[in-house]
Structure formats: structure tokens, C-alpha cells
Structure 1
């Protein structure tokens, strides 16, 4: 099987050349594609000089958009996605490919303890993983890792779902689970990146809440809506029992809580059907 490596890069002149050289030394990769996402430094020149195929965006479209461009242009049967900033060790690529050869469709490099960029991001990723584990009923070790190997044909099925921002790993992982494809994890250590991060704390915090809801809606919305509906229903029943015992009447608050629980349940049910339609394959 032909193997392509896709490196999304934005102003990564400090690390891109070294990363490409380390991948080439493995001598198992058929092509290296660098998606130059609107860089204003000499990332493009360094990548071309190192021997990579470079595809440039005229302006920065986002990490997810770069991933989609790479997936569309890769010729390999297997695509390895990794960061161009020196965090991911190319020596781990053969370990990911070994699992692909064992029959898995998506293999994710799971960052081990001490590999998170900051305490806050480590806590956030832990919450992501726990929520995804609840939604999928499978152990999710690293939902947001950008170091992964996939079967190209199956990955392209979900390109229309992938956002243009940084949450493409979350979306693609949940899409593979939803489709019933095989997913596994390989432990890796992520080094400190070379250069400055493109992540902004405030924007990243807002993105955290968006991803939480996206995880739910991408996989099984009813699992997210049902607990809230049940909680409201229990509150309504308890309040009705209290008012019936104390005042022998049914109050407006009980009616509001019962109605709210039914509405939330129906919203979850409708969302579940819409999600099922999203994953229906066209002939």
C-alpha cells in the first residue's frame, strides 16, 4: 500500500525542514505533502528544498482546511497526518502503520502524561476523552491528537463533516466510531513544539464548549439530551407530588417542567434521526 504523509504548516520555517528530513530517513513513505496554509515566512521554500510536495493556500484557511486539501491530493492508500512543528516524532510512524496492517481503519497517536502543552489543555483533553468514552462506549485515549494514520478512502467519506479549524481530530474520530470503523491507539510522547503556538487561550476556551456539543451531536445526540430530559421529568414529578400533598392541586411550574422534559427528549430524538441521515452513505 502506498503511504502519504500530510503536514499542515503555517509559519513553521523553524521545524519544517527537519521534520521532512526525519520522515525521509524512514524510507517507507511514498510522498510527503506540505499544505502551506498562508504562511508569511519561508515555510514553502524550505519544504520544497527538503523534497516535499507543497500545496499553498492563498490565505490561511485553518488547520482542518489544510487537512482536507492534503487528503484530496494524497495518492497513498494510507495517509499519515502529523504536525510540522516538531511535536510528533516520525519514528512513531511505523508503529501506527503496524496497527493499520492489523486491520484497523484509524490509528491515533495517544499522547502520554507529560506531553500536554499546558495544565489547562491537559484537563480539557481529559474531559474530551471522558465524554467521548461515554458517547461511544469505547475507551477513547486521546480525542484531539493530530498524529494519526487512516485509510484514505474511508477518511475521504467524512471530509464534508470536518471543520476548517483545529477540531478536525475530534470530528474525524467520532465519525469513524459512528460509521462502525475500527479505531485504536498507540502511545506516543509529544515533544515541545518549535516556534510559537497558533492556539489562543480565550478562543481555545470557547472552542472547548463548542467541541463538547459537537461530540454529542456527531455521535449520539440522544445520549446528551436524555439525561437532561430525565432530570426535568424527575423534578416535575417531585414538585407535583409536593404541591398535590400540600395544596391538592397541579401547578403551572409542574406543567412547565413536564413540558420542558418532553420537548428536550423530542429534540434529542429528532437530532438522532438527523445524525443518522448524515452518516448514510450514497451509492
Structure 2
């Protein structure tokens, strides 16, 4: 099995100076690709000094864009994605690969607790993502957003068009693999304190939190989210009608009751349409990528 290791990096010279020598020592036969996402520090110089392949983007396009560039350039049967900030232990790559040998198409390095998260806010947000995604796929997902993972390259390439250019590529790829019926496994890992300055922005990532919630639903089974929402909205409309009837004795629907019931119906129809669009989106997922 030929292995490629792809590392997206933006101003990560400190983390890479520690990570790249260890990778070269542990996996001398692996193809190591660092995607320089418009760095302004010595990231490129560190990579060239380490003798790894560097893909330099003329300006910062985002973590997801760097992942896509690295995946396209990789030649290995399996790609391992890891961060360039020194949080991920190269020794854990072997554990991901052993898990893949059991027949998995994607193996995610799952962080185990609060100490492995950047902040309490992110720990809470990730916990919510995990519970929501687990409910969607009816399988326990201990870490949906981990950027440390191993994938079968040909299958991963089939979903590049779905991946955003921003930071939510782990969520998108994980849900896409589940939706396509591929096998997804998890291996518990511990992460170190990142080296250098974080690129997380509270306001921007707060908005991203809301967008990821919707993305989880639309990537897997939209109707599973839309249907209970529509029932809840329409149910509030009927409850409002019953309360108005009890108060006035009139059997007429109030404007608010009518609006809520109609809103529930519209939400249901939107979910039905989204479900059909999602099915079309994955219409080629059953094709064997090895036949390409």
C-alpha cells in the first residue's frame, strides 16, 4: 500500500519544523505533501529543507482548498491528512492504517476529551456536532470534526466537489462517506497543544457553527431534520388554535394558527425536495472508483 501524507499549512513553520523530520524518519517511503496556503513566514523554506513536496498557493484559499489541492496531487492508495501545527502525533498514523486494514474506507483520529480541544466553546460545539451526526446516521460518532484522518484516495476524490474551501471539510467528508455507504471507523487519540498562533476567529467560527449544523442534515438525510421540524411548527399552529378556541369558543383558525400550519407544510415540502436533490447528488456513489 503506497501512502501519501497531506498537510495543509498556513504560517506553520514552528509546527512543521518538529513534525516533518519525524514523518520522514517514521515513514521514509511515504509521499509527504505540504500545501502552503499563502504563508507569509518560513513555512516553504522549512518544507524545502526537509525535502518534502510543497504546493504553494499564491494566496490563502482556506483549509479545505488546501486539502483538495493535496488530494489531487497525491499518488498513494491511502491519504493521511494531518494538521501542520504540531497537535497530531505522527506515531498515531500507524494506528489509523491498522484500523483501515480491517476494511474501513475512512478512519478518523477521535479526540477524547476537553483537554484535547482548543477551548471550552469548541469542545461544546464539537460535542453538539457529534450528537447530531450520530442521530443522523444511527451510529456513534465520537469526533466529527477531527482533521487527522486516513482515507482511500479514489473514494475521497469522488467527493472533492462537495468539500468547502473553509474549515468544515472534515464534517463534509465524514457525512459524505456515511451517506455513500462506505465504512467509517474511529481511533481514539490524544493531541498536543498547538505550536504557534491559532487561526480560529470567534465571530467567524460562530457563524460556521450554524452553517455546519445545516450541512450535517443536508449531506446525509435532509428529511430527517425537516420532518420533525415541520411537525413541531404545525403542531404549535394547532396548539395555538386550541388555545384560541378555548378562550373564545370560536372554531375559526386565527391568522397565527394558519400561518404556522402552512409554514409546517412548506418546511416538509422543502425537506422532501432536499431529500430528492441529495439522492441525485450521490447518484454516482455506488460506482466502483477502482474502475475509473
Q: TM-score of the superposition, structure 1-length normalised?
A: 0.96
1 CA distance for matches of 2:266 and 2:48? Answer: 56
Q: Secondary structure of the residue that 1:14 maps to in structure 2?
A: helix
Q: Say if 2:292 is the partner of 1:281.
A: no
Contact 1:5–1:29 at 8 Å: present in 2 too? no
Match of 1:190 in 2: 191
Shift of 1:242: 4.1
Q: Helix, strand or coil: the match of 1:192?
A: coil
Q: Which residue of 1 aligns with 2:159?
A: 158
Rounded Cα–Cα distance in structure 2 between residues aligned with 1:148 and 1:218: 19
1:233 and 2:237 are equivalent in the alignment: no
Distance 1:17 1:278, change over 3 A: same
> Aligned with 1:110: secondary structure?
strand
Moved over 6 A (4+): none
Cα distance, 1:239 vs structure 2: 3.1
Q: Check the 8 A contact 1:3/1:28 in 2, yes or no.
A: no
Alignment partner, residue 172 of structure 2: 171
- 5+ residue gaps, structure 2, are 288-292
Q: How far apart in 2 are the matches of 1:270 and 1:36?
A: 40
Q: Quote the offset at 1:276 in angstroms.
A: 1.0
Deviation at 1:231, TM superposition (A): 1.0
RMSD of aligned residue pairs (Cα, Å): 1.4
- The secondary structure found in structure 1 opposite 2:95 is helix
| Structure-2 separation of matches of 1:244 and 1:195 | 63
Task: Give 1:92's aligned residue.
Answer: 92
Q: TM-score, normalised by structure 2?
A: 0.93
Residue 65 of structure 1 corresponds to 65
Q: What is the DSSP-based 3-state SS (H/G/I as helix, E as strand, rest coil) of the residue aligned with 1:131?
A: helix
Q: How many residues align?
A: 283
Per-residue deviation, 1:48: 1.4
Tell me whether 259-268 or 239-248 shows the greater mean CA deviation. 239-248
- Deviation string for 1:212-232 (max 9, x for gaps)? 111111111111111121112
1:177-208 per-residue CA deviation (whole Å, 9 max, x = no partner) reads 00000001000001001100111111111111
| Cα contact 1:23–1:29 (8 A) shared by 2 | no
Q: How far off is 1:244 after superposition? A: 4.5
